[in-house]
Structure 1
């Protein structure tokens, strides 16, 4: 079996974490898949899988080889399609990551539209509030909120978000509207550690930067819970504008201290391969770019 054929067997086994699954997909026997993997490992001189009786998992070397092998196979398919003059429909498994609430509110609808457009695509979405290494974790595309640090990644800026202070109309009518960050000392504070891990909140205005130390009476590690609490009228909180954009539009929350908000925070779509990215990645990035750039809730254009 030539190296390209061995790569195809390896990629199928890696994606399914199963030699049996790969054999069923490729129309081979399970022993044939095992022999192919052994042949590939022998030629490379490294172990690609850790094997147990139930499943197989990539080793660190195997994970790195998987990224390159997958890219090479996709490039071969694109070259062959171009040679035949045939438009290559995006296909395969697309893996996307985003912050939890951002993914739920804004990325899920884009993923569903993408799947409707491309019937040969499958999507694996992983949402968590941490910065993942898309290469090490085998991800294709990441939505990043914040300034980018890795210059080796390709990025498309699609908008901005803002840290916003807000409260419910009912709470503000009873307790008054803060006109300056220092006024927060007279209010009940709800804190989401996912947005504000510190009890020192920083603000900016034409007069410069200022900080206020708050004393939260209610603290959460999840943004959803903070949103529920502030909507119930318990107090004032600070969140990201995209997390409460719908509430601002409906009037269930009021944006306050807007003239003291810090600088906007960028939103980027990040991927690794730039112009060499596969059709599935390019197609998703193009769609997500349009949808996110046109979404006023995540482009710092929310009206208070």
Structure 2
């Protein structure tokens, strides 16, 4: 039996979540899908899927094989397009992931502009506050903040951002400006769980290290909600510099305790490693890199302070 067909069936089952939907997608009968999947597992000598009446679950071997399968199928598709002269044509569907706040504030406008200039492409922008597995989740490109421990991914650096405490001038006039981390205990803190998952803030100043336990009066899991409270003079919040770029430039918010904050963190576009980069991925990288870098650079007032 065709090994590539077996891989296509295996990938389709995982993408759709069922044998029946995989059959519809590949225009095969459900019994043919079952026979192909059984033949694949028999040929490999390992179980790839655990089947129950309610769900399909990948085994450890299945997870490893799915990663290799997706990469190989992607390279086969790219090679076929190259053979028929379509290697330079960006078309099809592209999936991009980023954090909720970054998607709303930075990525979404860039994706809309990208679609306007590439009529043969469609895009899914996945906004999620967790580290996605690109291969397993079928994501073509992700935007990640922070160092990249996964060396299996290709990356393009976009710029740097920095954590900073901010508050409105009205709040600071009323409550005073903190000059030392310990002063935060005297202030109203707005906790944003996306940045501060713990109420203990660890800081470094020169060779001095310390930490402050903060007790937020308001705690939110959405940056826009927390920043609106800060702009209204209700307290001090920690944010990433790109989140407060406009407010810092306009003076609606003021950065605080910059000398105690950790070094700036990089932002990258990451995508799965492959010998042949799909045209749709290459088109997005070429289009989005400069625009995203510009947006991040404009927002980097806290880094330059």
Q: Are the equivalent residues in 2 in contact too, given 1:93–1:124 (CA < 8 A)? A: no
Q: Is structure 2 residue 266 aligned with structure 1 residue 266?
A: yes
Q: Are the equivalent residues in 2 in contact too, given 1:159–1:266 (CA < 8 A)? A: yes
Q: Are the equivalent residues in 1 in contact too, given 2:159–2:297 (CA < 8 A)? A: no
Three-state SS of the structure 2 residue aligned to 1:24 is: helix
Q: CA deviation at 1:6?
A: 2.1
Deviations 1:257-281 (A, max 9, x none): 4455432111122233055433333
Three-state SS of the structure 2 residue aligned to 1:282 is: helix
Which consecutive unaligned segments of at least 5 residues does structure 1 have?
none
Q: Are the equivalent residues in 2 in contact too, given 1:8–1:73 (CA < 8 A)? A: yes
- Structure 1 counterpart of 2:69: 69
Q: CA deviation at 1:234?
A: 1.9
Q: Are the equivalent residues in 2 in contact too, given 1:90–1:283 (CA < 8 A)? A: yes
Q: CA deviation at 1:28?
A: 1.8
Deviations 1:61-88 (A, max 9, x none): 2232222222222212222222223335
- Structure 1 counterpart of 2:24: 24
- Structure 1 counterpart of 2:287: 287
Three-state SS of the structure 2 residue aligned to 1:177 is: coil
Distance across 1 between alignment mates of 2:64 and 2:87: 30
TM-score, structure 1 normalization: 0.82
With over 3 angstroms needed to count, the CA separation of the structure-2 counterparts of 1:293 and 1:42, relative to structure 1, is same
Q: Are the equivalent residues in 2 in contact too, given 1:161–1:298 (CA < 8 A)? A: no
TM-score, structure 2 normalization: 0.82
- Structure 2 counterpart of 1:80: 80
- Structure 2 counterpart of 1:222: 221
- Structure 1 counterpart of 2:247: 247
Q: CA deviation at 1:162?
A: 0.9
With over 3 angstroms needed to count, the CA separation of the structure-2 counterparts of 1:271 and 1:3, relative to structure 1, is same
Q: Are the equivalent residues in 2 in contact too, given 1:189–1:214 (CA < 8 A)? A: no
Q: Are the equivalent residues in 2 in contact too, given 1:145–1:266 (CA < 8 A)? A: yes
Three-state SS of the structure 1 residue aligned to 2:106 is: helix
Three-state SS of the structure 2 residue aligned to 1:233 is: coil
Q: Are the equivalent residues in 2 in contact too, given 1:98–1:127 (CA < 8 A)? A: yes
Deviations 1:176-235 (A, max 9, x none): 33345454454333333442324344254xx66564635434252625243233223122
Q: Are the equivalent residues in 1 in contact too, given 2:96–2:123 (CA < 8 A)? A: no
Which consecutive unaligned segments of at least 5 residues does structure 2 have?
none
Distance across 1 between alignment mates of 2:192 and 2:173: 23
Deviations 1:102-150 (A, max 9, x none): 233222333444455254545262511x444445555443322122223
